[in-house]
Structure 1
């Protein structure tokens, strides 16, 4: 048998031995250790149901002189002699809407410091959570859409022993229970299918109404879980499931926490994505966000079937995210907690124009962006490098949603970004970096016509820069609606055969490597070759005689 198994079995034996020792040998007695100035009279008056109990106390503990007791003396006190009094629980913090339901049918909206009496019920609603503090400082957090009833809320005088018994009818809760100070201390959670008894531990309970079952998950200490007259001891790191009318299933190891890396630095984006490595055996994940590391209340919670989730739109501030896997039984695993520093407000505006990586020909653009509702001013930075080391403009007094860049040198390649500023001077995160480039407009490709030796006509024009191509059109009309030729050429020249009887028109333009089309050059009129046939000559002679 391994050392780990031996240690685990010893822990169970010690717990069971302690459990039965407390509940059988001394379940009815409280041990009080005297201090200087104590006597049986004031002990009875302070702690017992009747001051005259001092005589019985003297006889039970064989005290010779009830007025003079040595400090450190251990007195046995029957639990039934100790004064028991009702003591309310209290709402220590809450988030969202919840109602307190009284036994007489009246209700009230819960606020901080609301008192909870015997027989009261608490119902939480969507996106709500609250923490209940008991007389011994035990804490219970109740989550959204839950219902819990308070069946017993009492204390044994000023002994520090508190008896709290609750019934979770639906929903989810977790507890951080103060260690017991005597046999009268009790913290018991009942569900429709189970009873869990505990002192000094941390565990979660959930009730599934549809399937009539309960889940118990122990994070620290141990919990005795009973169902159908059967009991199991559940140690830290394990959970159990109890179906109504059946015994608890054997303890099942909880899923490990996600191995998520800490988030470095502030989060500047709304809906920032949280992601973590998948956990083997997890069917889904629970993600919770709180403003405090104890997670007494939640500001947001989510179930995700993926190992990632976008954060909600929360105000700037310090938060904590708690993530755990959920196995096939619905048992929730151990937590991974990470700190979040949100600094996303005021949000930068969205840049509209020019489009990112836009190439513009010849003219400076007008920068345009959306107006942020949270901003009164904008800081506009324009640089000639993506690291914004070479700033040519840096202004933090820009209002409106436009800026004219005509004062910038042309051509040029520029990078720009915006930051929102409130009227109180709060500066938000820097917005996205975008860039534009102004390029010169290509020159007109003016052509020259000439004849070549093979009888063809040749059009040529000055060569452009590397990578440029040329579009040439030859048409029968000056508006270029009746095209004879429409070609894209790699070289600055084009040859074609002359034609008789019809005038043609020719034009050329340059096309940049990025597809930008330059202006058309001057239209050239291509005259037809002369017709020297006898009929044509005779017609010309007649025309001259008539003139």
Structure 2
């Protein structure tokens, strides 16, 4: 089924497509990649036309570009050049594609996030998705909840979406000709590509799925393969797409679908136009910021943010509103796209703009403890206020005012309070709050002094012995304690105290009335300014 409006476009494109495409046995699928071939009379081999540089000789061309078995004499004969010395800069010669040097050229995993792995083609070993990994022909990229962005030898970018499986079948470069032969297979999932314009001649970029094949010369498109259905979406340029052997050119602004159950049917539809979005400032110094667009009647819209350098996705959200907030972005340059969605959820053409995020962290305002305050708790709560949104902060505690060595800290968080990472011994400390914005901008408060009286550890009962109507209690020794305070009560909340005594040892004997239930607890005492806490109570009972 062909959508209304494309009937006038496709026949013309198809005619051009077929004229530029010879019947080449060597390259049966990439019909859109053969333009620029020239063959000598009576020879149907694919060729590349090369323009000589100033001062470049035919022997230099042969040495730089041809495989070792081919010579400059053969190149001269092929081009019917009687005297190679007469050649000058700008002259064009024909080089059979099969004569060119070929070498495998790895792709680079420039960015990765989330779960996934690489399966090496040589030995089947699996490796985690890690940026800077080199991928060679035969390797596979499998994403689960993650994304992976690949950069090919010619600068083209392939973004592998979550829950996808991509096989790198061929990654070849033809010497320094600038031509590449890239062939990928998408077993399942989705990829989005930005293909650099291919050098005229034998350059090739092809992605095959179980039900279709796409070949391009320089374009942006996404390809999805699920359950025998292949869906193409072209946003720039033209892609030859369709069942293997029956491709058609799909221009920008259209989608195409091939279903393995009905392989002869190529369903082509027009994509929704790009929304009219409100321009954002070129540089953002505060987040969040609201991106709005005109109501175009679409059931929903999709907002995507990509790292401008790597093309790796940073954010992807869908909304039924006509605006969305951008926040939680690190400092850097980003490409922001908004596209309308069809009723089946297919994104249309995207409006695009680039922004620089340049957030500056601001020093927090300390709240408590007050300057020079004294606290009795060895785990005091520190509080502050953030002066800017989109910031994270952490507490730092040191015995030195220059914070040369930290004795405690907290995790980075958006919170405005924290406890130290470990109990603080009695003494004087300095504390401050460090804020971070944009991933690389840091600010710090001035240090503030605090004195910690601290607390003694709770005294814990470790054993109880019953002898007739007498009970002997044993508890753990607290190293910094001088004495212990013991309380005996008739209720577990210790509101009705029947006995209270100070004990210098770690054991005490109690005489109880049989048939009654009692509860006992202790806390350590110190001659210094250390506060103490009650240990857990224990129940006592004599029949």
CA apart distance, 1:161: 1.3
- Equivalent residue for 1:331? 346
Secondary structure at 2:74 match in 1: helix
Shift of the 327–177 alpha-carbon distance from structure 1 to 2, 3 Å rule, reads same
Name the CA shift for 1:217/1:70 in 2 (closer, same or farther; >3 Å): same
CA distance in 2 between partners of 1:177 and 1:85 (Å): 20
Cα–Cα, structure 1 residues 59 and 140, in superposed 2: closer, same or farther, change >3 Å? same
Is it true that 1:113 corresponds to 2:132 in the alignment? yes
Q: Secondary structure at the match of 1:19?
A: coil
Shift of the alpha carbon at 1:421? 8.6
Find the residue that maps to 1:280 and give its secondary structure. coil
Superposition deviation, residue 316 in structure 1: 6.3
TM-score, normalised by the number of residues in structure 1: 0.57
Contact 2:278/2:292 (8 A) holds in 1? no
CA distance in structure 1 between the aligned counterparts of 2:284 and 2:70, rounded to whole angstroms? 66
Spell out the pairing of 1:10-89 with structure 2 (5 A cutoff): 10-20=12-22, 22=34, 26=39, 28-50=46-68, 52-89=70-107
CA contact (8 A) 2:38 2:48 kept: no
CA separation of 1:72 and 1:290: change in aligned 2, threshold 3 A = closer
Of 220, 226, 233, the residue aligned with 1:217 is: 233
In 2 relative to 1, CA 313–135 (structure 1 residues): closer, same or farther, beyond 3 Å? closer
Aligned Cα RMSD in Å? 4.0
User: For residues 459-470 of structure 1, what are the structure 2 equivalents within 5 Å?
Assistant: none
Cα distance in 2 for residues equivalent to 1:56 and 1:85: 22
Match of 1:137 among 155, 163, 167: 155
Q: Alpha-carbon deviations, 1:392-432, whole Å to 9, x = none?
A: xxxxxxx999xxxxxxxxxxxxxxxxxx995998499xxxx
Which of 303, 306, 319 aligns to 1:287? It is 303
Please state how far the C-alpha of 1:164 moved relative to its aligned partner: 0.3
CA contact (8 A) 2:333 2:356 kept: yes
1:226 matched residue in structure 2:
242
Matched, 1:254 2:271: yes
Contact 1:229 1:247 in 2 (8 A): no
Contact 2:221/2:233, CA 8 A, preserved across alignment: yes
Query: Which protein, 1 or 2, shows the higher relative CO under an 8 Å CA cutoff with sep ≥ 6?
Result: 2
Name whichever structure is richer in strand by fraction: 2
- Structure 1, residues 286-325: CA drift from partner, whole Å, max 9, x if none? 3222342x67012222344555555564456665432212
Q: Is the CA contact 1:273–1:310 (under 8 Å) kept in the aligned structure 2?
A: yes
Q: How many Å apart are 1:216 and its aligned residue?
A: 0.9
Distance of 2:84 and 2:228 partners within structure 1: 57
Structure showing greater radius of gyration is 1
- Equivalent pairs, count: 365
Equivalence for 1:391: none
- How far has the Cα of 1:118 moved from its partner? 0.8
Task: Report the secondary structure of 2:101's partner residue.
Answer: coil
Shift in Å, 1:44: 2.1
* Alignment check: 8 A CA contact 2:38 2:94 kept: no
Q: TM-score, normalised by structure 2?
A: 0.57
